[in-house]
Amino acid sequence: MGALRPQTFDRAPVWLPPSASFPSLRFDNSFVRELPGEADTLRAVRGVRGACFSPILPIPVNGPRLLAHSSEVAGLLDLSEADCASDAFLQIFAGNALLRGMEPYAACYGGHQFGTWAGQLGDGRAIGLGEVLNAAGQRWELQLKGAGSTPYSRSADGRAVLRSSIREFLCSEAMAHLGVPTTRALSLVSSSDRVVRDMFYDGHPRSEPGAIVCRVAPSFLRFGNFEIFAARGEVEILTLLADYTLRHHFPQLGAPSPETYAAWLTEVCRRTAVLLAHWMRVGFVHGVMNTDNMSILGLTIDYGPFGFVDHFDPDFTPNTTDADQRRYRFSNQPRIAKWNLVKLAEALFPLVRSIPALEEALAVYTATYEAEESRHYAGKLGLATVDKALLDELFQVLALVETDLTLFFRCLSDVPVHLGDAASDEALLAPLADATYAPQGQGQGEGEDPSSNPSAGPARARTVAWLRRYGAFVRAEGRPPELRKARMDAVNPKYILRNCLAQLAIDAAEAGDPSGVVELLDVLRRPYDEQPGRERFAAKRPDWARRRAGCSMLSCSS
């Protein structure tokens, strides 16, 4: 269990003296200052009552090595490249050293996992270090993931393996550059300590390299932070936490009252709808949309067995743990977010005290999602407004043959639909040739009818018919072709973090070479730009990735 081991038995991180070798960050730890926490600093696993957090220190690691860092996130903290290259930076973000002003803690939260109330969960391997106020007056909380066990670690070890840390580090930054709300990642540090994981829970544990990611966000509060106190009937703490959240993260809503709490829930519904519409527009599948993985700020949080859709498949989930039920499949995400918001609304009932008010807030989710979805698809098609029937038919066409969702939209801007009847069928289809996967049974795997080849038969005819119909809308709007292309390319990414790309970077990093992580991070900085010479990062999923663990199959083991 790792339980019953007092913290005094652990190696403890050192407190760095105030020195010129690292900037003194300005900490203002509102969460631990303004909310009730445990007095107990033991590491023992336990049910935590009457507290929003437990004070706990990271456990130092051996052989820390900085594999990558995000210059953009360092900039948010007013840290220079020289600061990031310092030994102090490495030791701090390995969990080996602490800066004056840090007050490390693990938060208490619960959650609904796969549709069932799971009781107390909490930060089992994430340790908050403190909240930095930057020169611009922004508040950024620092959190180490994989920094050692906490009272919430249950039977697990509090550590994270390198492969999942690379995935979280890269995807946090990739999503930010795509324009999707997300927690950020400052650093990726590996250690020489090994971590044992049974990747597919099939009795084949192996020892893997461990790593620590420093995540950065205004707050890591989740729906589950509120649910736990509602579930336990601890309404006083629920109120303190809600008021804290309003004060620091939704100050525009005003002083706490039943109406303000309702307005806050409405805003969470709105932000969550905005978030989900973004996920769907870029083909992101979170994989584990439990309520403990839903941010109260509407950020993407807790990157685990996530994946971007390669070929369009509404039923796709990268998470083998969910392979039977597919609760968190691509097409189900917007519905699940609503389900999760219902659970949050139930938790906030003691504050809002009006079912119609909760229902009104939840209705905002649906209305916002629909509006955002239309807006995004209009943009993706280069139109001012999108026709629902045109979109429905598009998704049917995309499903006729295996079509890469990202490449289809990226290449669509080159299809000369504006020419109308002057464009031949071949001219219309040519730019899309790269977006389809070779039919299964023709060198890519077993199965399927080769007549489904897009370059022949009924699939081809339907694709051409859709393109001509789309062309009629394009011509009716009359936007010049170059403008349509510019508008489409600005919202349809060329570069996404495909699982196969992440896996290649992981393979090399596990073998000691992290340069692939750094290069991929750089590519993903400009997802909408052409980036000549880097086309291999924009290629569709290679055949080897179809069934390889880490590419098409992931589990919660991380």
Number of residues engaging ligand AMP in binding (CB under 6 A): 16
Tell which one of 113, 191, 293, 436 touches Mg ion (CB under 5 A): 293
Q: Is 267 in the site for ligand AMP (CB under 6 A)?
A: no
Q: Is 291 in the site for ligand AMP (CB under 6 A)?
A: no
Tokens describing residue 379: 């943009």
- Which alpha helices (DSSP H) does 283-417 contain, by range? 333-352, 355-381, 388-398, 405-412
Q: Is 104 in the site for ligand AMP (CB under 6 A)?
A: no
Residue type, 164: S
334 binds, among ligand AMP, Mg ion, none (CB under 5 to 8 A by kind): none
- Which alpha helices (DSSP H) does 445-514 contain, by range? 457-477, 481-489, 499-510
CA distance 241 to 247: 10
Chain centroid to CA 525: 16
* Exposed/middle/buried for residue 511 (C-beta within 10 Å: 0-12, 13-18, 19+): exposed
Residue type, 351: L
Residue pair 60/177 in contact by the 8 Å Cβ criterion:
no
Which residues neighbour 465 within 8 Å (Cβ) at sequence distance 6 or greater?
none
Q: Is 556 in the site for ligand AMP (CB under 6 A)?
A: yes
CA distance 152 to 120: 8
| 443-472 footprint of Mg ion as x/- string (CB under 5 A) | ------------------------------
> How would you classify residue 108: left for phi > 0, otherwise alpha for psi between -120 and 50, otherwise beta?
beta
Give least dist CB 176 to ligand AMP, A. 20
Q: Is 125 in the site for ligand AMP (CB under 6 A)?
A: yes
CA distance 196 to 444: 34
157 binds, among Mg ion, ligand AMP, none (CB under 5 to 8 A by kind): ligand AMP
Q: Where in the sequence numbering do the catalytic residues fall?
A: 292
Tell which one of 209, 304, 382, 516 touches ligand AMP (CB under 6 A): 304
Residue pair 89/66 in contact by the 8 Å Cβ criterion:
yes
CA atoms within 13 A on the CB side of 247: 10
CA 449-451-454 angle, to 5 degrees, is: 115
Residue linked to tokens 């070890």: 157
Which of 286, 540 has the CB closer to ligand AMP? Answer: 286
Which of 95, 158 has the CB closer to ligand AMP? Answer: 158
Which of 183, 245 has the CB closer to Mg ion? Answer: 183
Q: Is 159 in the site for ligand AMP (CB under 6 A)?
A: yes
Q: Is 302 in the site for ligand AMP (CB under 6 A)?
A: yes
Give least dist CB 143 to ligand AMP, A. 11
Tokens describing residue 375: 């807006």
Q: Is 122 in the site for ligand AMP (CB under 6 A)?
A: yes
Which of 171, 411 has the CB closer to Mg ion? Answer: 171
Q: Is 169 in the site for ligand AMP (CB under 6 A)?
A: no
Which of 29, 153 has the CB closer to ligand AMP? Answer: 153
Q: Is 157 in the site for ligand AMP (CB under 6 A)?
A: yes
Q: Which stretch binds ligand AMP (CB under 6 A): 84-92, 157-165, 245-253, 353-361?
A: 157-165
Residue type, 374: S
Which of 122, 283 has the CB closer to ligand AMP? Answer: 122
Q: Which stretch binds Mg ion (CB under 5 A): 10-18, 247-255, 296-304, 511-519?
A: 296-304
Which residues neighbour 261 within 8 Å (Cβ) at sequence distance 6 or greater?
242, 246, 348, 351, 352
Q: Which stretch binds ligand AMP (CB under 6 A): 35-43, 119-127, 453-461, 513-521?
A: 119-127
Give least dist CB 59 to ligand AMP, A. 12
Chain contacts with Mg ion (rule: CB under 5 A): 293, 302
Residues at the interface with ligand AMP (CB under 6 A):
121-125, 152-153, 156-159, 288, 293, 302, 304, 556
